[in-house]
Amino acid sequence: MPAVLAVPAAGLMVFHRAVPNSVGHLGSLLEAFLPWLGLVVVVLFVVAVLRRSAVALVVLLLPVAAWTSLFGGLLEAEHGSHDLVVVQHNVSDENTDPVGTARVLAGAGPDLIALEELVPPASAVYAQALGPDYPYHVVRGTVGLWSKHPLSGARQVDIRPRQITESWSRALRAVVHTPRGDVAVYVAHLPSVRFRASGFASSWRDESAGLLGEAVAVEKLKKVLLLGDLNGTVDDRGLTPLTSRMNTAERGFAFSFPAAFPVARIDQVMARSATVGHIRTLPATGSDHLPVAARITGVF
């Protein structure tokens, strides 16, 4: 049995894009948990050892090679210098400790902090708590950006799905004026996905990702950063409008959701004409997400 199951396990990892999305978005569902297929390999290995099956152990090299090819680089240790440190966090609109949350985020020493699910009166608390170290900030709707460097050109970015008719502002764009050049920074919170009887519901998320991808595509500044709760992993084809245009983290898994037992990183840091060298999680806050911090290189 281990040898029989090893081949499809390898096939799912390598050819995950071949799994159709036409029925219940099964492809996106698989891609949301793609790294965890490695556990299947571990179980099959244990079974092969217990059965003393040399053939199974040899065949298991296929999924091992597939997993290593896809995710092995993420296991590399953090190294080298960096230009910027950024923090991304969905702080949760039910967070009862915004002061403590701000302390955790600032403790990472980032240049930029992007927040989602900002609601009053907590939004004012974040502004006050982060203000001494991050004197420049902008909030549009429920997303905000705090910076050590001056900001300009702040505006809302319309990523609202067509079926949402109520007031809905969950993306912004601003220019960060660093001592060595300007960087366009986008902060976004894409719609949530849901598990339903009909399958994996991600249509609104996918539509918003398309709109955000179009905004990035026409951005005139060469250097672009995207920080946000994108409600999808970088392997999920629903985020292709973004991942096809931007670089994602080269090292670090940084599973960020749910905070109690993280199984996926849906809080993302992406870059155009720059490199997201390493991404990691920060200590838990009062949110159901973990914050993530990333080192950016090649910005200057």
Sign of CA dihedral 94, 294, 298, 251: negative
Distance CA 115, CA 162 (A): 24
* Confidence band for 10, pLDDT divided at 50, 70 and 90: confident
pLDDT higher than 70, residue 188 = yes
Q: What is the pLDDT of residues 249-286, one digit of tens each?
A: 989 999 999 999 999 999 999 999 999 999 999 999 99
Q: What is the pLDDT of residues 34-49, one digit of tens each?
A: 999 888 888 887 877 7
Distance CA 100, CA 89 (A): 13
The length of the chain is: 300
- Pick the range with the lowest mean pLDDT from 96-105, 141-150, 162-171, 251-260: 162-171
The mean predicted confidence, pLDDT, of the chain is: 92
pLDDT higher than 80, residue 100 = yes
Structure token pair of residue 15: 């050819």
Confidence (pLDDT) at 194: 87
Instruction: Domain 84-297: give its CATH code.
Output: 3.60.10.10
Confidence (pLDDT) at 75: 84
Residue range 131-153: average pLDDT?
A: 97
Residue whose structure tokens are 């702040």 = 154
Domain boundaries, the chain: 2-75, 84-297
- Pick the range with the lowest mean pLDDT from 12-16, 22-26, 110-114, 275-279: 22-26
Output the DSSP codes for 145-203.
EEESS-EEEEEE-----TT--S----EEEEEEEETTEEEEEEEEEPPPPEEETTEEE-H
